[in-house]
Structure 1
């Protein structure tokens, strides 16, 4: 089931929260394309957005974590690398095989995994670290 934005995903860092909301919007755009059986047309722009989003967002997050001496930064950075690897695979398949409904479904799976596992869980950890006043 597609996740909707909720204040439960707010981590309390306005710039990062705004970026997370943008990721939810893009995920829903891809989902709507898939529901309309237009995923083939939606997948290229969705993958391009994911790349642009990840590059900007990860830089923002990483700077924030460094600024606050977040002790879990190395593990968090590994997760960013893993996301780029999954994205590279999507881009490679798009280049080799072209856009398809299957590729759109895979891209949506990645966005949902990211929304559920990373934003809701992992990003909350560094936010809690800062809120606890440990930094």
Structure 2
């Protein structure tokens, strides 16, 4: 999956983190297409746990600073994503890596990129642009 400029929200720190996530997703997708998804899943889950702590904190702080109107809902989507990652990690720990867990992570990450970053996070950039014009 290639990064598109349309994914940028206009905040370099956040956009850089999003590009970092896409790069990691591409590593995972490539491993899956080479039948190595099982080997890569634990590394990807570890990355996601670390990434979400820093990235979601940065994003939520920015939303507070700009009085983002949908902050509570956005926080909830972050919490839901973390929960999904932790549940998947627990499944891998207790049941081992399976084709199903690999597919589930692949689907979760693709959905996050397409629906969350490209739709929900774009609203943050739009809110900032509107606020900047008003100043």
Residue deviations 1:100-122, cap 9 Å, x none? 33212211111101001100000
Runs (4 or more) in structure 1 with deviation over 3 Å come to: none
1:48 aligns to 2:46 (yes or no): yes
Cα distance in 2 between the residues matched to 1:58 and 1:38:
29
Correspondence for 2:108: 110
Matched residue, 2:21: 23
For structure 1, which runs of at least 5 residues remain unmatched after alignment? none
Residues 40-79 of structure 1: matches in 2 within 5 Å? Answer: 40-79=38-77
Please give the alpha-carbon distance, in whole angstroms, between the structure 2 residues aligned to 1:74 and 1:64.
13
Give TM-score, length-normalised by structure 2: 0.94
Q: Give the CA deviation at 1:82.
A: 0.7
State the match for 2:2 in structure 1: 4
TM-score normalized by the length of structure 1: 0.94
Match of 2:85, SS state, is helix
**CA–CA separation in structure 1 for the residues paired with 2:26 and 2:68:** 31
- Residue 126 of structure 1: aligned partner: 124
RMSD of aligned Cα (Å): 1.2
- CA–CA distance in 2 between the matches of 1:64 and 1:56? 12
1:101 aligns with 2:103: no
Structure 2 unaligned residues grouped into runs of 5+? none
